[in-house]
Copies of this chain bind each other. A is one copy, B any other.
């Protein structure tokens, strides 16, 4: 069998990062003896500026034919915020029903965290973010826009279906992960008394089916504090789309920054998409300075998702070696190596 992988290099530094990921893919496929083919799609800001099109007709159907999607970054400085995000990234997440955003927050040995007195044994948890509803649904509107009486609404839509499958994924993941056996719901039950009433009820109803797993709850504001002060308390955190967006970026910074933070947009019954979460970083585009490790780890997540666990573990180990033996910093331009040299190093340690 040959894995079919759709590749969307995207904007800014996306292509440079993805290039290194594909370099690692080629090497690890050889070592592990699996076959794959890639098809490159040029979705992104350049194409939009040229054609006025975010995703062409039929793109979604076409993408459904792949085993997985590998994404660089979406976001272009010349395009108004929201257009590419909604027209490409969020549309893929929603239309491919990638209802889980999975974000491991793990500090590798040799990587520097900005937190005092915290090491790899303290920072090792996973955020399971709902990825297809909540405030991201796009519902809302204006009344009397542009006047002094303007009202702007933004609506969070939460469904039993959406919350249930997300919460269940979190409990299943926690069981499989088999570490602290604890799932923490991150919400705001005392203020968002509709949305998180649903979340809380579903969390406990589903959680009762997992007597081996401890259930914990904290308000999102407290979660942010504890991620900085006591990250060792967490195992699996489950939350809605907006809070998930916030706490996963906070997670990225405590694990060493965007240079190393990867995520998966997962539809367990469909096609999933893996990406470095750092964005398109336009100011580094084309400079061969961006850190490709996040994209390389996204590739590892992709391979793990396809069942190539050994290949994934191999990449993860190689990344760790490169972090602890070579890089001066994970930050773009300060690694002590170029983007392609870092890719080469990872290949060397495979």
Q: Which A residues are closer than 8 A to B by beta carbons?
A: 75, 81-82, 85-86, 90, 113-117, 135-136, 138, 140-142, 145-161, 164, 188-195, 197-198, 201, 220-222, 224-225, 228-229, 242, 245-250, 252-254, 257-258
Contacts and interface: CB of A to CB of B under 8 A. Distances in A.
Nearest to A89: B190
A231 to B, nearest CB: 10
A332 to B, nearest CB: 13
A135 B192 contact: yes
Nearest to A195: B154
B140 A151 contact: no
Contact of A155 (B155, B159, B224, B246): B155
Contacts of A138: 193
Contacts of A198: 142, 145, 150, 152
A154 B192 contact: yes
B81 A154 contact: no
B193 A82 contact: yes
A155 B152 CA distance: 10
A69 to B, nearest CB: 20
Given A115-B114, A246-B220, A194 B153 contact: yes
B191 A135 contact: yes
Contacts of A142: 194, 197-198
A149 to B, nearest CB: 6
A137 B29 CA distance: 54
B228 A252 contact: no
Nearest to A198: B152
Given A221-B245, A225-B252, A229-B114, A194 B140 contact: yes
Contacts of A248: 221
A140 B250 CA distance: 28
Contacts of A247: 224
Contacts of A253: 224-225, 228-229
5 contacts: A150-B159, A153-B158, A191-B245, A221-B245, A225-B253
Nearest to A220: B246
Contacts of A190: 75, 81-82, 85-86
Contact of A221 (B152, B192, B246, B257): B246
Contact of A140 (B113, B193, B201, B225): B193
A75 B194 CA distance: 19
A321 to B, nearest CB: 24
A275 to B, nearest CB: 14
Contacts of A201: 146
B194 A222 contact: no
Given A153-B194, A195-B153, A160 B136 contact: no
Nearest to A90: B191
Contacts of A221: 245-246, 248-250
A228 B112 CA distance: 13
A241 to B, nearest CB: 9
